[in-house]
Structure 1
Amino acid sequence: MWFSKSQEEALNELNVNPATGLTTTEAKARLEKYGANKLKGKPKKSLISLFFEQLQDMLIYVLLGAAVITVAIGEYVDAVIILLVVVLNAVIGVVQEYKAEKAIEALQAMTTPRSLVRRDGEVKEINSEEIVLGDIIVLDAGRFVPADLRLIESANLQIEESALTGESVPSEKNADDLHEDPKTPIGDKSNMAFMSTLATYGRGEGAVIATAMDTEIGKIATILDEDIEEMTPLQKRLDELGKTLGFIAIGICVLIFIIALFQKRDLFEMFLTAISLAVAAIPEGLPAIVAIVLALGVTRMSKINAIVKKLPAVETLGSVSIICSDKTGTLTQNKMTVVKFYTFDNLKDVQAEAMGQTAEQDEKELMKSFVLCSDATYENGQSTGDPTEVALVVLGDKYNLARRTLHSEYKRVGERPFDSDRKLMSTLNKEENAYRVHTKGAIDNILTISKNALVNGQVIPLTEEMKANYLKIAEEMSDNALRVLGAAFKDTVSIIDPEAMEKDLTVIGIVGMIDPPRLEVKDSIVEAKSAGITPIMITGDHKNTAVAIAKELGIAASIQQSITGAEIDELSDEEFSRRIKDYRVFARVSPEHKVKIVQAFQSHGNIVSMTGDGVNDAPSLKKADIGVAMGITGTDVSKGASDMILTDDNFSTIVHAIEEGRNIYNNIKKSVIFLLSCNLGEVVAIFISVLFFWPVPLLATQLLWINLITDTLPAIALGVDPGDKDVMKKKPRDPKESFFANGAGVRAILGGTLIGALTLAAFYFGLREYGYSFGSKTIPEEVLTYARTMAFVVLAGSQLFYSLAMRNPTKSILQVGLFSNMYLIGAIVVGFILQLVVISVPFLASAFKVQMLSAGDWGLVILFSLIPLALKEIAKLFMSEREN
């Protein structure tokens, strides 16, 4: 019962020193002994179960029924081919699902929560799964508790434990509490923190006393697995499309069978033809192909530092018209550097890299307060914590006021953490014979709660004239795009309540720091604008600072395009929504304002992407169409609420992700239109021949073969087509736009009809070569076999070649690059080789009822196969001329 043990007893039992934490060697040994810190999920599906899942489809049942009938009447070859097609189709489905599962597993590994842990005397950020018994965990607002902890230190710490207790109000924690009653409820264990709960306020430290399934939540957990199998909106639309086409195809097949009855054809042959036509006509591979394209797409996006957590986000990315981005770290380098500091009537520049600089007494007091009122660390070029605080610690280093020295000499005994309402942080530190409050934050807020000022080492009353002087210097710094922070102190003889810390302070001075824009962001903003996307800056900084950076980056042209949170509050929701188009910069905003900004943009039909990193950003991230969390500075809460995580916290990554999202959607569209064209071609060829009482140009087994090879391989290759270089020169896609908009449906019908007509033409030429025609009453079997071989090759060849034309609806294959998608070239080559193998290998030729063609007929079928591609390319030329 850890909650009944003192901190010393718990630490002794865990054999850990809280000042240094575990050593790397000891942590590794404990990880091997106790295992990874993660809850057990539901068991993975085996390959066998995945295989049988692929067979659970109505059309597969129909095919298996057909195989049984063919065996019953002695047509063993046809039965074997049907079964081979079923097995191959299932194998392809298993491979696709396995790849998708692996891709998603990789993404989940990337999004594993990270925790601050003290090891080897240093605070490090590691994956929560690597945490072991005895680790010293550092908690602050916005972090999930990674394991069960016995708290050893707490400062105003509050933890939201609804996952365990059902209580929505956060529980207050105190590391010094002890609970003797062994039946103490979880919600009353104020000296403990539990896995999967959330620190909402203050800070603390705790020693790990249980991990994984030994934790409180592990004891009650039965499943910890996100539902990654939910279909995306696009997949749902395609699934509905497939069902609709299926009903149409089955209707056509029933009609074919009825017509065949009246025409007194061979019913068994027509039965197989009708069944195979149903399978060929229905794009049952669409959901699988879409799943694999999306999974491969998000894997590719992870390589450009954008981790997509939810597949529907990929579709939404292509429609983004507004990017609301935080300034610090996203548009800028997130390397804050103090360049100026000011104590009363004394403004100085800080030399960029020089260490060991000298400072006067007031300046030393200013830096001392900043360093002590900071949770960041900086040693040997390595830092942890908020970039602003890191800059202050680095400033102290430059003036021989090292953080480690100051924090060991002036121990912290209390604090009042920063929050976005007060815009202040205060700590209480032990002095030689007393205590001192150190406060840092917005200078205007500090001046409001100060009554004295430090001038030349003396504490004197703070006058209105002096206040105006501080504010004037602060404004000048802001006009130069510097971020301004003030510092103040107050001496006290005893430990005081946190609420009393920020009263009657003595202001020391201010510093001005800059976070320079990222070098690549300016080009990304130009690219975003050319793509019809409006970049918006949202920041907590002053208006002048924000506008200066926005102008430099090309986001805003003048200060009239900016508005502050206070000015937003003065407007009604309707007025703000009406005027939202006038603004490009939102300064001094709170998280609540972010939600209003998103809603205002959305009210005009925009698809909005919003970045965030804090606990309070979760509502705006959820409200946005695409919530983007910062991977480096973001809290676990913001990452949990987001659709996408930037591992480099870079604005350019958002633009690249949108480009990738547009290309992924376009690739899926290419695959779908291609499949529908191919399927329609098969339907046209069979239906017309049956309708006019012509010989059937293709047998059931031939249709099944073509459906498996010439449809699937190029469709997958089109799904991984390299991105269109001009995709960011077009406006965002309307999310309500039909999948067959902009002539895509017409192109599918024309392409399919042409392929079907050419298949019939090849069949006709094959018959005519032997002196027969469609109207001939008795045609020898060998003549039919030869003519069907020609139709078989043309149908397959025209589909394979046509896939090249499907790469871009307006650009020719030469403009796109004939060999820029080697997967597609490979699919076409493999398709033709397999066609040749089927025709030339005797036992296969016999099974599929085909034969080798003459050299002249090979030329004819290749010519016919090229016609759809050629006509499509000619049509593109006319389209480009018309546009020019």
Structure 2
Amino acid sequence: MNWFSQNAEQVLQELNVDPKQGLSDAEIQSRLEKYGENKLKGKKKKSLAALFFAQLKDMLIYVLLGAAVITLLIGEYADAIIILLVVLLNAVIGVFQEFKAEKAIEALQKMTTPRALVRRGGDVVEIDSKNIVPGDIVVLDAGRYIPADLRLTESANLQIEESALTGESVPSEKNAARLFEDPKTPLGDLANMAFMSTLVTYGRAEGVVVGTGMNTEIGKIAKGLDETQTDLTPLQKRLAGLGKTLGYLAIGICVLIFIIALIQRRDLFEMFLTAISLAVAAIPEGLPAIVAIVLALGVTRMSKINAIVKRLPAVETLGSVNIICSDKTGTLTQNKMTVLHLYTHRKFLDVPSEGTATAAESTQKKLIQTMVLCNDATLDDGEGTGDPTEIALVVLGNKYHFPKRELEAAHERVAERPFDSDRKLMSTVNKEGDHYRVHTKGAFDSILKIATHALVNGEKVPLTDDLKADFLRAAEEMSDQALRVLGAAYKDSDEVVEPDQMENDLTILGLVGMIDPPRLEVKDAIRQAKEAGITPVMITGDHQHTAAAIAMQLGMAESLDQSISGSQLDAMSDDELKQKINHYRVFSRVSPEHKVKIVNAFRSHGNIVSMTGDGVNDAPSLKNADIGVAMGITGTDVSKGASDMILTDDNFTTIVAAIREGRNIYNNIKKSVVFLLSCNLGEIVAILASVLFFWPMPLLPTQILWINLITDTFPAIALGVDPGDKDVMKKKPRDAKESFFAGGAAFRAIIGGLLIGILTLVAFYFGLSEHGYQLWSGSIPEDVLTYAETMAFVVLAVSQLFYSLSMRSATHSILHVGLFSNKYLIGAIILGIVLQFAVISIPILAGAFHVQMLTLRDWIIVIAFALVPLVINELIKRFTRSANN
């Protein structure tokens, strides 16, 4: 249907909705069932079967399946069944991990679903855009994405950027009153329509939903669109590269083994199985899945502390952040603005905290009226909607008997110029009897630039330098008390004033001083950030004195000298700012362009910068920063779209908590990877040494497969969800260019691998010597070899399990970290030992794995051997700590 050719009344009638009331709950439910959710259909999700078969698409799996076929052909049925079971189990675990990670990411995507303002049952409410139905009345303002296709019913200076649909980057002017008769009118010319996924850049409007989901214009061109494409993080890419390197290494070692086997004239099939054993030992099969699940679980955990990470690479970057550029209002403060003082020429008026009052004279009354009329906030039954600053002004009006509804009824708004972060002003034109009045409010220094007169004792007089100085002195006094200062001005006209003519030749009325008290918990968070080597910086649109006073209260700045204003920034060249940037802690009266300049200046020194933002124009600075952080409560859809992370509580403390969590997640992934590499290196050492020195093989391929599946995987995942280092925020940020194996990680992996491998060979040697044989003995009986292999098999598995305890901290002992503080790890160790006991104790399993039951004495010896790598690693940590102290 061509909604654009019908007027607004016809469209509303067709959709059976009252624009003042919106839809009822019953009607919404009925239409939701009829039309479905308002979302685009993506690609079909992979079924569990598809996920399962995807796990089998791996070179190592092909090698194992080939080995299973060969073992079947030569009659080794038990080995073939074990290999196939291991492949099956590995695939099932992989599917579970991928499914779990996918679910975690899905839950996060639901939390970042765009929100929309709709009128339902007479009230304006914010809902998930997927719950919008045809006939809903949608309220639009700057910074919001259009949630569905709309026929506009009201508009005021509305501009919409429609590049997502038309490719045209210049915003389109919209006008609800226009009609278009030609059914072939191009989408870009339909000024009375707004389309899904486009963006309001200016003005405000209301519209009725005429199309949702795949019935929208964007839906028609979105067939098969998959919006949930995820990229690998830099860490995952590095580890994938590591996996490939290890794979090539495994192939090289396999070729070497075959050459040695030919020289030593060993059994070629036995050496084929040995080569497979080594390939299995060299490649940590579970590494990509474990890293993915640790990242996904970590991100889910972060969402519970009010930090929604939209892009996984941000988790890694968080650990390197050393500059936090934070907005003031709502982030560092409570976002509960309260007006404390009014000022007209040489008259201060204290506003009562409770109850009502009467304005003393006419100028004060006009000042209050301007603040209430030039305002988009609402206040009903004590509940406000809109900008907290504007809500505070509506409350001010109520205290002085100027309720907003009554004022607006008597002084109808006929035109407006919405607030703009560059102008720092908002203006409206309201009826004033038989003529019109422009009401302007905003930053007082911006008003001073455009005002020509002032109201003094009820009379309009030219704005002299003395009057300017008087108003500026009052503004500074309020700012020094950490008050936010807003100015108001007006002018009268006989006709409706055009937007570009509203803000000139104004008459100053006066100032209001309001306070937004600092959040109680922020001071402690700033102290923690500083201890962690992070510099907190305030960037705000507020007056320099107000911003500096709050910063000094919170411990961000020490003096006014550490603050700089936007005008001072403009006077600096980029090179000069780069030289001086590290001196400043407060940036006041800044525009969005300044934010980009500040971020680039900090980054030029090699800093990793986190930047907060909530407005439409904050998108460039959020994208320029290493971590863009959007406000979940006050943030626009644009800022949320441009960000890497969203704070659902708009709190600075959450940024610090997210950095702590990010550091711990990275460290946990590092623990898991180093642990897996240590275990695999241990297996390589044991097998390669046996081949090189022509010793009997201490481990069979099936035994190594079992250990890699059970012993390695569960502790690695448990390390990935470790509670983390309590002192992680007492350390400096990680260098973003730092190698994954920096800080002794490579040394720990090599030492751990050597110890595990050597102890496995020692256990094997011990098993042989118990029966009077040596490693180099010929014709060792089958039962003696089985006993020695069992000792090696159990020591390898249990030493890896115990060694995982030592991996929890690179510097602190397990007693300092807390032996039982990671219950998942303790559970994984107990499970591993129980399963190992089951394998050698249950006859059918013992026969399949070529092992035998051990005596109590044997178990004591095995445990003693298995504890050696753990004990030695703990001693190394102790000596390292002593040397550093």
TM-score band, normalised by the shorter chain? over 0.9
Q: Does 1:770 align with 2:771?
A: yes
Alpha-carbon displacement from aligned partner over 1:1-57 (angstroms, at most 9, x marks no partner): 110111111111112222222233332332232211111111110000000000000
Question: How much does 1:267 deviate?
Answer: 2.2
Structure 2 SS opposite 1:33 = helix
State the partner residue of 2:257: 256
Residue by residue over 1:767-813, the C-alpha shift from the partner in whole angstroms, topping out at 9 and shown as x without a partner, is 11111111211111111001100000000000000000000011111
- Could you say which residue in structure 1 is the equivalent of 2:28? 27
Return structure 1 stretches of 4+ with deviation > 6 angstroms. Answer: none
Q: Distance in 2 between matches of 1:53 and 1:632?
A: 40
Corresponding residue for residue 450 of structure 2: 449
Partner of 2:304: 303
**Partner residue, 1:242:** 243
Is 1:396 aligned to residue 397 of structure 2?
Answer: yes
Q: Deviations over 1:358-380 (max 9, x none)?
A: 65433222111111111111222
Distance of 2:602 and 2:422 partners within structure 1: 25
Counterpart CA distance in 2 for 1:504 and 1:275 is 86
Query: Which residue of 1 is the match for residue 819 of structure 2?
Result: 818
Q: Which residue of 2 aligns with 1:188?
A: 189
Map of 2:91 onto structure 1 = 90
1:469 aligns with 2:473: no
Shift of 1:133: 1.2
The equivalent of 2:527 in structure 1 is: 526
Counterpart Cα distance in 1 of 2:352 and 2:29: 43
Aligned mates of 1:471, 1:721 — CA distance in 2: 56
* Structure-1 residue corresponding to 2:145: 144
Identify the range of structure 1 (564-573 vs 77-86) with the bigger mean alpha-carbon deviation: 564-573
Aligned-partner residue type, residue 245 of structure 1: L
Number of the residue aligned with 2:295: 294
Structure 1 position 848 matched with structure 2 position 849: yes
Say if 1:66 and 1:130 are closer, same or farther in 2 by CA, change over 3 A: same
Structure 1 window deviating more from structure 2 (674-683 vs 164-173): it is 164-173
1:853 partner SS? coil
Aligned twin of 1:313? 314
- Amino acid across the alignment from 2:408: H
Query: For the residues of structure 1 that align with 2:8 and 2:869, how far apart are their CA atoms?
Result: 78
Aligned partner of 1:680: which letter?
L
Once the two structures are superposed, residues 306-354 of structure 1 have per-residue CA deviations (whole angstroms, 9 ceiling, x without a partner) of 0000000000000001111111111111111111111223211112232
Higher deviation after alignment, 297-306 or 239-248: 239-248
Q: Whole-Å Cα distance in 1 between the matches of residues 544 and 285 of structure 2?
A: 56
Give the paired residue count.
884
Q: Distance in 2 between matches of 1:50 and 1:578?
A: 54
Structure-2 residue corresponding to 1:779: 780
Residue 335 in structure 1 maps to residue 336 in structure 2: yes
Structure 2 CA distance for aligned equivalents of residues 367 and 25 of structure 1: 42
Structure 1 match to 2:744: 743
Q: Does 1:157 align with 2:158?
A: yes
- Provide the rounded CA distance (Å) in 1 between the counterparts of 2:97 and 2:462: 74
Letter in 1 for 2:100: K
Cα separation, 2, equivalents of 1:529 and 1:703: 48
CA positional deviation for 1:446: 2.2
Q: CA offsets, 1:734-789, max 9 Å, x none?
A: 11111111211111111101111110111111111111111211111111001100
2:543 alignment counterpart: 542
Give the partner amino acid of 1:223.
G
436-445 or 296-305: bigger deviation: 436-445
Deviation at 1:456, TM superposition (A): 4.3
Q: Is the 8 A contact 2:443 2:487 kept in 1?
A: yes
User: Structure 1: 5+ residue runs without aligned partners?
Assistant: none
Q: 1:724 — aligned with what?
A: 725
Residue 614 of structure 2 is matched in structure 1 by: 613
CA distance in 1, matches of 2:79, 2:521: 61
Aligned residue for 2:136? Answer: 135
- Deviation per CA, 1:259-279: give whole Å up to 9, x if none: 223223232222112112201
Say if 1:116 and 1:124, in contact at 8 Å, map to a contact too.
yes
How far apart, CA to CA, are the structure 2 residues paired with 1:407 and 1:755?
80
Q: Which residue does the alignment assign to 1:214?
A: 215
Distance 1:434 1:413 in 2: 12
Q: How many Å apart are 1:295 and its aligned residue?
A: 0.4
SS at match of 1:137: strand
- In the alignment, structure 1 residue 578 sits paired with structure 2 residue 579: yes
In structure 2, relative to structure 1, the CA distance for the partners of 1:409 and 1:16 (3 Å cut) is farther
For 2:218 and 2:445, locate their aligned partners in 1 and report how far apart those are by CA, in whole Å: 45
The aligned counterpart of 2:488 is: 487
Superposed, which structure 2 residues align to 1:481-520 within 5 Å?
Answer: 481-520=482-521
Opposite residue 784 of structure 1, the aligned amino acid is L
Counterpart contact for 2:681–2:753, Cα < 8 Å: yes
Residues in 1 aligned to 2:262 and 2:338: alpha-carbon distance in whole angstroms: 86
1:587-606 alignment runs, 5 A limit: 587-606=588-607
| Corresponding residue for residue 657 of structure 2 | 656
What code does the residue aligned with 1:115 have?
A: A
What is the 5 A alignment of 1:662-741?
662-741=663-742
Distance 2:161 2:566 in 1: 28
Report deviation, 1:436.
1.7
CA offsets, 1:513-550, max 9 Å, x none?
11111111100110000101111111111111111011
The amino acid that maps onto 1:472 is R
Contact 2:325/2:610 (8 A) holds in 1: yes
- For each residue in 1:176-221, what CA deviation from the matched residue of structure 2 results, as whole angstroms up to 9, or x when unmatched? 1011111111111111111101111111111111111111111111
Question: Secondary structure at the residue paired with 2:472?
Answer: helix
Return the offset for 1:83. Answer: 0.3
Deviations 1:246-291 (A, max 9, x none): 1112211221222223223232222112112201211122111111
Q: Could you tell me how far 1:388 is from its partner in structure 2?
A: 1.0
CA distance in 2, matches of 1:120, 1:369: 30
- 1:231 maps to what in 2? 232
1:786-865 map, 5 Å: 786-865=787-866
List per-residue Cα deviations over 1:455-495 (Å, max 9, x = no partner): 44444444443332222111111111111111122222222
After TM superposition, give the deviation of residue 815 of structure 1 in Å: 0.6
Equivalent residue number for residue 81 of structure 1: 82
Q: Which residue of 1 aligns with 2:110?
A: 109
Q: Distance in 1 between matches of 2:447 and 2:759?
A: 82
Q: Does the 8 Å contact 2:71/2:80 carry over to 1? A: yes
Paired residues of 2:614 and 2:634 also in contact (CA < 8 A): yes
* TM-score, reference length from structure 1: 0.98
Cα contact 1:359–1:399 (8 A) shared by 2: no
Please name the residue that 1:634 is paired with. 635
In 1, distance between residues paired with 2:131 and 2:405? Answer: 27
Distance 2:601 2:203 in 1: 33
Alignment of 1:359-438 (within 5 A): 360-438=361-439
CA distance in 2, matches of 1:41, 1:808: 43
Q: RMSD over aligned Cα, in angstroms? A: 1.3
1:420 Cα shift? 2.2
Q: Which residue identity does 2:325 align to in structure 1?
A: C
Secondary structure in 2 aligned to 1:742? coil
Letter in 2 for 1:638: S
SS at match of 1:183: coil
Q: Give the aligned residue type for 2:671.
A: K
Asked if the contact 2:359–2:365 (Cα under 8 Å) also holds between the matched residues in 1, the reply is no
Q: Does the residue aligned with 1:596 lie in a helix, a strand or coil?
A: helix
Q: Contact 1:331–1:517 (CA<8 Å) still a contact in 2?
A: yes
* Alignment partners' CA distance in 1, 2:404 and 2:437: 17
CA displacement at 1:501 relative to structure 2: 1.6
| Counterpart-to-counterpart distance in 1, 2:233 and 2:170 | 35
Which digits, 9 at most, give the CA deviation of each residue in 1:81-119, with x for residues without a partner?
A: 000000111111101110111011111101111111122
Give the residue type in structure 1 aligned to 2:265: K
- Of 395-404 and 766-775, the range deviating more from structure 2: 395-404
Match of 2:46 in 1: 45
Question: Which runs of 5 or more residues in structure 2 are unaligned?
Answer: none
Aligned to 1:270: 271
Specify the code of the residue in structure 2 equivalent to 1:329: G
Distance 1:831 1:817, change over 3 A: same
Q: Which has the higher mean CA deviation after the structures are superposed, 440-449 or 507-516?
A: 440-449
Give the Å deviation of 1:356. Answer: 5.6
Q: In 2, distance between residues paired with 1:537 and 1:552?
A: 12
User: 1:877 matched to which residue of 2?
Assistant: 878
Q: What's the secondary structure of 1:439's corresponding residue?
A: strand
